[in-house]
Amino acid sequence: MILQVKELSKSYGKKLAVNKISFSVEEGQIFALLGPNGAGKTTTLKCILGLRKEDSGKIYLGGTYAYLPEKKELYKYLTVEKMIEITQNISKMFRKEKAVELINDFKISLKEKIANLSHGMLTQVYISLVFAEDVDIYFLDEPTWGLDPLMRSKVIELVRKMSLEGKTIVYTSHILPEVEKVADVVAIMNHGKILELDFLDNLKEKYVACVVGKNEN
Ligand code: ATP
């Protein structure tokens, strides 16, 4: 087991964002946190990564990691190439050749300025930088948010490829068909709770029941 979360809770003032959730992730797995906006997915990742201090619970993270944040911003006035160079200077695990290869695969020019990239291309550049880190586990917060279907399927393909290379991936999404395609294990999250944890059996029915059921309350 590379990641274990036990009874994790986190509030913002009176708002209980994450409410005693537990799950574990095995090495090499693609683990998805599936849930609508506000479910608590980002807060969960941030607590695991130490970007937020949990109120209670235990977290075990047994490997090196890289993180794709929900808000994907890079230095606007730099070229993609310069961004790669800077990342290499600040991260020992970063593989420049891998970043160049991935960005070429996405058919994005290294000479392009970040400011000139569309939202989808910016996400793809950011994902390339993250996957160029030679770490054990990747945390991806909504990696396909706002991407068109073609870009989305390319990102999903890359997630699968990284998993085949033995890497562990924890990612969040609100898109059920995508999660069905890519994940090995899914935790359905809503209102700060994990409502189902499963290996994709009857995922659609469970997701609808969890989300619709809760909204009716
Ligand atoms: P989204 O995809 O919309 O970000 P999410 O599932 O990632 O959703 P979180 O961002 O973790 O959910 O938010 C969970 C709850 O906590 C939401 O009700 C949100 O409004 C609240 N929340 C998140 N961050 C803060 C904050 N910094 N201060 C106050 N409330 C917050």
Which ipTM score applies to this complex? 0.95
Assess whether pLDDT exceeds 80 at residue 217.
no
Q: Which atom of ligand 1 is nearest to the CA of 18?
A: 14
| Residue where the block lists tokens 């059996």 | 201
pLDDT of residue 158: 93
Angle 161-165-70 from CA coordinates, rounded to 5°: 55
Q: How far is the CA of 104 from the centre of ligand 1 (A)?
A: 34
- Tell me the best of 15, 141, 174, 179 to mutate to test the pocket of ligand 1, counting ligand atoms within 8 Å of each CB and taking the most: 15
Q: Is the CB of residue 120 below 6 angstroms from any atom belonging to ligand 1?
A: no
Ligand 1, atom 30: closest residue by C-alpha:
12
Closest CA to 140 of 110, 177, 182: 182
Q: Is the CB of residue 38 below 6 angstroms from any atom belonging to ligand 1?
A: yes
Mean pLDDT of the chain: 92
pLDDT one-digit tens code per residue, 80-93: 999 999 999 999 99
Q: What is the pTM of this model?
A: 0.93
pLDDT of residue 211: 77
Assess whether pLDDT exceeds 70 at residue 96.
yes
Q: Is the CB of residue 190 below 6 angstroms from any atom belonging to ligand 1?
A: no
pLDDT one-digit tens code per residue, 54-81: 999 999 999 999 999 998 888 889 999 9
Q: What is each CA distance from 166 to 137, 141, 154, 163, 186, in whole angstroms? A: 10, 20, 19, 5, 19
Closest CA to 182 of 71, 33, 44, 30: 30
pLDDT band at 213 (very low <50, low <70, confident <90, very high): low
Question: DSSP strand E in 107-212: where?
Answer: 137-141, 168-173, 185-190, 193-198
What would the two tokens of residue 138 be? Answer: 């990747």
pLDDT of residue 216: 44
pLDDT one-digit tens code per residue, 167-207: 999 999 999 989 988 999 999 999 999 987 877 777 888 88
What would the two tokens of residue 119 be? Answer: 């939202």
Q: How far is the CA of 33 from the centre of ligand 1 (A)?
A: 14
The residue ranking higher by pLDDT, 212 or 24, is 24
d(CA 36, CA 28): 26
| Portion of the chain with pLDDT greater than 70, in percent | 98
pLDDT band at 215 (very low <50, low <70, confident <90, very high): very low
Q: What share of the chain is helix, strand, coil (3-state, %, to 5)?
A: 40, 30, 35
